Amino acid sequence: MDKDKLDELEVDIDKCMHCGACVGSCPQNAITLREVLIEFGDNCTLCKRCIKACPVGAITLLEDD
Amino acid sequence: MKRDYDVVVVGAGPAGSMTAKWAAKKGANVLMIEKRQEIGSPVRCGEGISKAWHDSVGLKLDKKSVAWEVKGAKLVSPNGSTFYLSEKMAGDEVGIVIDRVFFDKLLARDAIKAGSDLQLKASATKLLKSGNKVVGVRVRSMEGTRDITCGCVVGADGFESQVGRWAGIDTSLAPRDITSCFQYRLTNIDQDFDYCEFVLGSKAPGGYIWIFPKNKDTANVGIGMQLTKLSQPADVKKYLDKFIQGDPRLRKGRPLELVSGAVSVCAPIEKTIGDGILLVGDAARMIDPITGGGISNSCKAAKVAGEVLAKATKENDFSERSLTRYENGWRDILENQLYRNWLAKEKLVTLSDETFDKVIATLNEVGVDKMSTFAILKAVKTRYPELVKEFEEFL
């Protein structure tokens, strides 16, 4: 896993509803719900499933912009 | 070695509380932990349920738990035609729209009255293991972090379940078995408040839009869509917004609450137990793949879980072998139906709007005798056997 790439996964806290849709959808169990944020672990493979699963579009991969 | 509790239940939603209630009632020493600071809040649910199963799990709703009673369900096809599943054809089975904030508290209260302990704002952070056997759970709370030993940990921690994954139970989902959801509680709307409405077809690809009345001018208006049908971020919310803007009854409504989340719409998973570990409810992927509803299945399985855990406590045996009674017990009740509805869902997500129109027309012609997915599928079979070919043996 390329750590630099992981830095590019970003959560927009103005959009995030903290619902856990991304957590349950992650095939690597690489996402953790924190009290106010979600956190991506280094076992993330950038499969982008969480980006799809997020109902409100709060997760973006910066390189996609 | 003396343990702190016989059973620790992680998550105090319906599945967790119902498990705790039946385990405690029959003699187990039970602790429930809930990561949130309030049971039932924030709501992550459309809140429409049926009533027929309540007696079988010992559930008696109080006034506050029921927001609204409806006469039945209304299916809306893409061309706007409707099919009513009414009280009359459904016998005395009516639908209700519950208030999860109170409903979940009622279930937790039942568990506490049965003797279960409950701690709020307490998160499980890891499982304690001895070899492959689960022997307890690490809990972070206001009192700090402590290790709690027990005979069995129950993972009732919902869609985003960690407990099962920590225990090495495979609960992973394929994208086609994940439905992403968004919902407004809209007020100031006009609606057919005697019915829970389900809008089918390409307005919600791979899912449906629901309008479940909470009172005369307020409803939960939500959407669920299959992950594989989504292309852009926030598609789910965009489809719902578009639907609301296109519906004059809803357009003037304003939200009192936003809800997001996801549900599993998968076939029954292979295993829900291990040594000292058991999964129940959404964590065990027990949600109905067609409706996306999970409460009745969760409660039915949870009663079995609680009773088996009480027996395991008496026998002082929480091995996988002992818990097999739960694995077999819940499958006896739910497995066929879950599998059939998963196959039906796999078919439904492929249907064109024209086919949905035809199906609704057929239902109006032949009628259904019960308010259930099963009855609808049977009615569809009379005219379109090819639509139900893959799961005919279950009809």
User: Confidence band (pLDDT; 50, 70, 90) for B395?
Assistant: confident
Q: Does B43 touch chain A (CB under 8 A)?
A: no
- Identify all chain A residues contacting B230, using CB atoms and an 8 Å cutoff: 52
Residues forming a β-bridge with B79 = none
Residue B151 structure tokens: 């005979």
Is B230 in Cβ contact with A19 (below 8 Å)? Answer: no
Nearest CA among B205, B177, B198 for reference residue B353? B205
Domains of chain B: 5-47+99-173+266-341 (3.50.50.60), 175-264 (3.30.9.10), 344-394 (no CATH)
Q: Does B193 touch chain A (CB under 8 A)?
A: no
Chain B interface mutation, best of A56, A62, A64, highest count of B Cβ atoms under 10 Å: A56
> What average pLDDT score do residues B364-373 get?
83
Q: Does A61 touch chain B (CB under 8 A)?
A: no
- Identify all chain B residues contacting A51, using CB atoms and an 8 Å cutoff: 233
> What average pLDDT score do residues B78-96 get?
78
- The amino acid at B79: N
What pLDDT does residue B87 have? Answer: 64
Beta carbons of B201 and B181 less than 8 angstroms apart: no
Residue B71 to residue B17: CA distance in whole angstroms: 29
What pLDDT does residue B379 have? Answer: 87
Q: Which of residues 10-49 of A touch B (CB under 8 A)?
A: 15, 17, 19-21, 23-25, 27, 29, 33, 49
Is A25 in Cβ contact with B262 (below 8 Å)? Answer: yes
What are the CA-CA distances from residue A63 to residues A4, A10, A50, A60, B149 (Å)?
Answer: 11, 10, 16, 9, 46
> What average pLDDT score do residues B19-41 get?
97
Is A51 in Cβ contact with B161 (below 8 Å)? Answer: no
Residues B54-77 have pLDDT tens digits of 999 999 999 999 999 999 899 999
- Identify all chain A residues contacting B232, using CB atoms and an 8 Å cutoff: 57
Q: How many CB pairs under 8 A join A and B?
A: 79
Q: Does B256 touch chain A (CB under 8 A)?
A: no
Is A51 in Cβ contact with B165 (below 8 Å)? Answer: no
What pLDDT does residue B93 have? Answer: 58
Strand, coil or helix: what is B331? Answer: helix
Domains of chain A: 3-64 (3.30.70.20)
Chain B interface mutation, best of A26, A29, A38, A60, highest count of B Cβ atoms under 10 Å: A29
Query: In the predicted model, is pLDDT for residue A64 greater than 60?
Result: no
What pLDDT does residue B151 have? Answer: 98
| Chain A residue with Cα closest to B263 | A21
Residues forming a β-bridge with B211 = B197, B221
Residue B128 to residue B139: CA distance in whole angstroms: 10
Residue A5 C-alpha, separation from nearest chain B C-alpha, in angstroms: 19
| Closest Cβ opposite residue B237 in set A49, A55, A60 | A55
Residues B198-215 have pLDDT tens digits of 999 999 999 999 999 999
Is A27 in Cβ contact with B180 (below 8 Å)? Answer: no
What DSSP character marks residue B75?
Answer: E
Beta-carbon neighbour count of residue B170 at 10 Å?
10
Residue A1 C-alpha, separation from nearest chain B C-alpha, in angstroms: 20
| Closest Cβ opposite residue B175 in set A29, A49, A56 | A49
Is B158 in Cβ contact with A55 (below 8 Å)? Answer: no
| Closest Cβ opposite residue B262 in set A21, A58, A60 | A21
> What average pLDDT score do residues B73-92 get?
83
Residues B119-150 have pLDDT tens digits of 999 999 999 999 999 999 999 999 999 999 99
CA atoms within 13 A on the CB side of A32: 11
Burial of B143 (0-12, 13-18, 19+ CB in 10 A): exposed
Residue B127 to residue B168: CA distance in whole angstroms: 11
> What average pLDDT score do residues B23-46 get?
96
What pLDDT does residue B387 have? Answer: 86
Is A55 in Cβ contact with B236 (below 8 Å)? Answer: yes
Write the ipTM. 0.80
- Identify all chain A residues contacting B235, using CB atoms and an 8 Å cutoff: 57
Q: Which run of H or E residues covers position B144? A: strand B144-155
Q: Does A5 touch chain B (CB under 8 A)?
A: no
